[in-house]
Structure 1
Amino acid sequence: MLNRRIRVLAAGTALALSLLVNSAAAVDGPGTGCPPGATDCDVHSGGEKPPDWGKPGRDGKPGDDGGKGRGGSAKCMARDGSGGTFEVPCHDEESGWFDQSSSCYWRLLEPQPAANDPVWDGHTPGDGAVYNGQCPGQPLAGGLRWFQNPPPGYGGGPNLAALAEEAVTKMRLLGADIGIAPKRGGTGTVGVPVWVWNGPSPQTTGPTSASATALGVTVTATATVQNVVWNFGNGTTVSCPFPGTPYSASFRLNPPSTANGQCGMPGYSRVGEYTVTATTTWAVHWVGGGQQGDLTTTRTSQAPVRIGEVQVVGQ
């Protein structure tokens, strides 16, 4: 049987090449959204901070997540006297909450000053509040100051990580726009290489950016494809150069070469119907409100492929 299959494939090489040449990608709707169980796709919209996401208690301390929210690590950057920046905690037990605009920490002064204290700047107790500022890198700044509303960032401000996730939602990221040879709707041949690639667009190959705003703070997120893993439905899984190279007749029956930016596999060993699944990992970097951070999110897409044997007339 094995020898006969080899003879049939040899006799049908020209036919197999023809099948592969006619395999320009037939693209169905790209992307099937996030895979089941992918919590990084659970995006909160509206820009409001969900309950207990960094919500401060009566003492001004952060909630369970330390005021960082979700969606990866967050950083606060303070300015020094020479115009440079350096990283500081977004919340300090002694100093309070960091505000990027002033490059200072602010803590609600308790008890509040007497009504005749000049720090009220003509206002009365209950009309805003007085906060104590400490400014790393700027020892002459800070001190007591009246604010009509809490300083930016106080109490965690808007949940910046949640805003970043909202920005990701606006990008409408997709899985790979799968191009495949043999083409969808056709039939490939046992032992003939299978090629895959990703059709380019901001939502499938990136990079792409979007912003979200809440309480006067804007977070801008930029997404780039970090990795695409292809599962061919027969136990073969490969991670290839991105986005891959569309099949060309000049490639003939040569297998894809990752060294040349190509993606695929040598071929299926059995007749059957298979599902090719592409899992795209997007890396997202976000900046806003004096903080920055990183998160990842995944998207999947699929394409069917049918594999048969070459039928030679008279055999």
Structure 2
Amino acid sequence: MKYDDLLSIMATDLGVRRYRNETDESFGIRTVYSASRFWIEAFCLDDGRMGADGCRPGTISRRLNLWLRRISLIYPFIGQWFGDPPASKLLYDKLIMVGDIISENSGGTYRCPSRHTIQISDDLKALLGVYDMTGNVMSLPISGMMLSAREHGKPQVERNPAWWDLPREYHVWSSCTDERVYEYADPFRQNVRDCWAANPILLDGIGIGRREEAYRRSTYFLLRDRRGDIEARIIDGSQWKPLYTHLRSVAGNPYWAELEPLGESHTRIKTPFGMLPTEISRWLDFMTWPEKAPDDETMRIIRNELLETAVDMLESCGIKVRSNRTCQSN
């Protein structure tokens, strides 16, 4: 068997295709990344009871790490990209987030359910669970870890829920002084790492604050104007980023998504994926290939068949989209 035969066979079976001028290393990494979905599903099915019980997360990690390390012995660049130890938890978490593997005992074990679908957009559904790709002509080419098919229906994926618009009476509010809020998000700044200011900035009557805790941790707050006073309530650490993205859009300083065509079948998307709400980011994670590393939250590759859906998701979160057709892949 030639050096590249294994990856070529895997890519052919999965339907992974090269984009224009793609390097062997990039193509191999994308192939292994897509294949990891089916290996994880297989691990969950191999529980000695035909998949009825599933596997513990630690077992999934050990098996996936072993598989990745064996491939890395043949293709060292695979191991360099996935890391040592490999980013196995990151990979199977992506499947958990979209329901491709499920737990019925609070995360004790995960099993691969029977084939099912979720309507992602008006004309696109994700194919999840045990799915045989052999000879199937209905599904679109795999993109990232996601198999999909064209079918019209009502979307089941919630788009950018404005949790901050819930009635004030639903929560307990305090003063910023009582909560020791000392920094405030400035949506007019360009760099999110330097977005904190000394004075509160409210747009449409809302803003974001934070206070420093032990071990370099922070507590975040939703701020609201209450008859000229600013009140605060604690929010989850994952909530402030999509709210900040929304406030930047309101401020006329939106995040941008740059689309770079990579030939006829693929596109590179450059945008701060980490600033999106979980409801959207988990699907964009699933339908794209991270480019620089498994946890790349800036650069992703997507099949063009899914690009319209991805753009619609980004725009629903306040991300502006533009195509950079003059910047072609080398």
TM-score w.r.t. the length of structure 2 is 0.21
Per residue, is there more helix in 1 or in 2? 2
- More contact order relative to length (CA 8 Å, sep ≥ 6): 1
| Structure showing greater Rg | 1
Structure number with the higher strand fraction is: 1
TM-score w.r.t. length of structure 1: 0.21
